């Protein structure tokens, strides 16, 4: 099965840039999706197909994907960005293709 | 407006059964695959099960196969998850979600399942 690896935690000061990594074997050839989950809320899709933002997601949230690492970048971090972030791929060669990373908790200092 | 609303969560003893429902509105229900996912306490997101548009092809994670059954009623815009032989490690918030070409674009607010004696 395909494994996605995320650091458990990232901390950043308000106004700075947070970069959250998602590692996987040749992940650069996969489509990576990112979800934000705040306490007590459902997950929210914030990036799909590596770089696209759903309607309503601010431009300071962006994604990239190359080689063995996909990255979610949050610019000008705000207190409201504090949440858990999960990467996900649809790995077509698996019989259970919907794979999630373990998640990264973003703390705004 | 797309909405997914889960119901049926409860406290249940190990070995017990529970049936979750996911009522959908705001989109053409029978054009989409619907999934169940869960997040346990201090754990990440885990895919549990999915059902295709006409309900003929369910799929399950290894952790629930043989114990959980997914089904749908397209006349009522509802998906169900029958959970049998529940274990303590099935304790989680269960979410239904709509799939859009590999990603999950809409999620319900969740149904809490607690398995404990």
**pLDDT given at position B93:** 98
Write the pLDDT tens digit of every residue in A33-47: 999 999 999 999 999
- Taking the CB of residue A86, how many other CB atoms lie within 10 A of it? 24
**pLDDT given at position A92:** 81
Judged by a CB distance cut-off of 8 A, whether residue B5 touches chain A is no
Cα(A18)–Cα(A6) distance, integer angstroms: 14
Q: B108: which chain A residues are within 8 Å (Cβ-Cβ)? A: 42
What percentage of residues in chain B have a pLDDT greater than 90? 98
Write the pLDDT tens digit of every residue in B77-117: 999 999 999 999 999 999 999 999 899 999 999 999 999 99
Backbone angles phi, psi at B29, to 5 degrees: -55, -45
**pLDDT given at position B58:** 95
Q: Is the pLDDT of residue B75 over 90?
A: yes
By Cβ distance, the residue of B44, B102, B104 closest to A102 is B44
By Cβ distance, the residue of B44, B47, B100 closest to A103 is B44
CA distances, A16 to each of A12, A21, A41, A74, A92 (Å): 7, 16, 25, 9, 36
Judged by a CB distance cut-off of 8 A, whether residue A31 touches chain B is yes
The candidate with the shortest Cα–Cα distance to A6, out of A68, A107, A86, is: A86
């Amino acid at each position: 099965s395909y494994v996605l690896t995320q650091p458990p935690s990232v901390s950043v000061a308000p106004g700075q840039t947070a970069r959250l990594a998602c590692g996987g074997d040749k992940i650069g050839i996969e489509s990576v999706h990112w979800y934000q989950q705040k306490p007590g809320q459902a997950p929210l899709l914030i990036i799909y197909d590596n770089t696209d933002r759903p309607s309503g997601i601010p431009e300071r949230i962006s994604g990239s994907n190359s080689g063995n690492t996909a990255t979610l970048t949050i610019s000008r971090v705000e207190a409201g960005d504090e949440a858990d972030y999960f990467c996900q791929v649809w790995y077509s060669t698996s019989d259970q293709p919907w794979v999630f990373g373990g998640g990264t908790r973003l703390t705004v200092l | 407006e797309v909405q997914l609303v889960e119901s049926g969560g409860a406290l249940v003893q190990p070995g017990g059964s529970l049936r979750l429902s996911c009522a959908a509105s705001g989109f053409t229900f029978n054009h989409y695959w619907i999934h169940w996912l869960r997040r346990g306490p201090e754990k990440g997101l885990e895919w549990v099960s999915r059902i295709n548009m006409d309900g003929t092809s369910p799929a399950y994670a290894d952790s629930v196969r043989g114990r959980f059954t997914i089904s749908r009623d397209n006349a009522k815009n509802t998906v169900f998850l029958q959970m049998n032989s529940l274990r303590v490690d099935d304790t989680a918030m269960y979410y239904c979600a709509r799939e859009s070409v590999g990603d999950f674009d809409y999620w319900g607010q969740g149904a809490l399942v607690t398995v404990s004696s």
